[in-house]
């Protein structure tokens, strides 16, 4: 009986990790598209702007993957993952009010050169997307019920996250931005990420108390 309960608990944790992989994948690419809307009034929609955005997203994911993998090996805690994701939601929530003053300051100091748009993109996206990037190595490590199925588990995490990436790109671009507006969508995404973080914290608390 105890073994069956433990197995059920592990499967529920795995399901939660899969659902959050989809949700955070949606937000990650959706916010990349929003980043272009924040930068457009200051730097335009040139290829340099998009190069800065794409490079920033890749750098953020690289940092998240590296650091997330290191940290989860030392502290394989779903509660810690919940804290990291919650911090990302806080950063996202302050962007709508802080973006214009920061971008105005950067234009005044650095002008609208390529280096300026890259620094602006880093300031806007690097921290929250690095924290979101840390989710994948954490989720793979925490979702592993049987080591012999590690390939299947990691494939599921990446595949589900990529489905979220695709829908986040399309829905944000073709529906949310025309219907709601950039800042309202940012608050919505911050709320979604916050809910994800809270769900992980609650799951971690329940696991520890159980």
Domain range list for the chain: 2-209
pLDDT per position as a tens digit, 42-99: 998 889 999 999 999 999 999 999 999 999 999 999 999 999 999 999 999 999 999 9
Q: What is the rounded radius of gyration, in angstroms, for the C-alpha atoms of the chain?
A: 18
Residue 86 CA to residue 198 CA, distance in Å, equals 7
CATH top-level class for 2-209? Answer: mainly alpha
Using CA atoms, how far residue 50 sits from 34, 76, 95, 117, 207, in Å, is: 12, 36, 19, 9, 43
Mean pLDDT check: name the lowest of 134-143, 163-172, 198-207.
198-207
The residue behind tokens 């995490």 is 157
Compute φ and ψ for 112, nearest 5 degrees.
-110, 35
Counting beta carbons within 10 angstroms of the beta carbon of residue 196, is it exposed (0 to 12), middle (13 to 18) or buried (19 or more)? buried
> pTM of the prediction?
0.92
* 94-120 pLDDT per residue, tens: 999 999 999 999 888 888 788 889 999
| Mean pLDDT of all residues belonging to the chain | 90
Confidence of residue 143 (pLDDT cuts 50, 70, 90): confident
């Amino acid at each position: 009986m105890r073994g069956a309960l433990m197995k059920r608990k592990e499967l529920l944790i795995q399901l939660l990790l899969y659902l959050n992989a989809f949700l955070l994948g949606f937000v990650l690419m959706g916010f990349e598209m929003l980043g272009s809307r924040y930068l457009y009034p200051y730097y335009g929609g040139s290829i340099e702007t998009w190069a800065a955005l794409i490079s920033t997203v890749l750098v953020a994911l690289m940092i998240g993957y590296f650091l997330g993998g290191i940290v989860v090996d030392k502290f394989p805690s779903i509660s810690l993952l919940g804290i990291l994701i919650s911090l990302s939601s806080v950063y996202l929530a302050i962007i709508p009010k802080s973006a214009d003053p920061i971008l105005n300051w950067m234009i005044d100091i650095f002008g609208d050169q390529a280096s300026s748009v890259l620094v602006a993109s880093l300031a806007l996206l690097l921290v929250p997307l690095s924290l979101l990037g840390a989710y994948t190595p954490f989720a793979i490590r925490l979702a592993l019920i049987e080591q012999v199925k590690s390939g299947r588990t990691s494939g599921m995490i990446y595949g589900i996250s990529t489905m979220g990436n695709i829908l986040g790109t399309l829905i944000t671009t073709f529906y949310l931005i025309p219907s709601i507006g950039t800042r309202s969508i940012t608050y919505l995404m911050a709320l979604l990420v916050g809910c994800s973080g809270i769900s992980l914290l609650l799951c971690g608390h329940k696991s520890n108390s159980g």
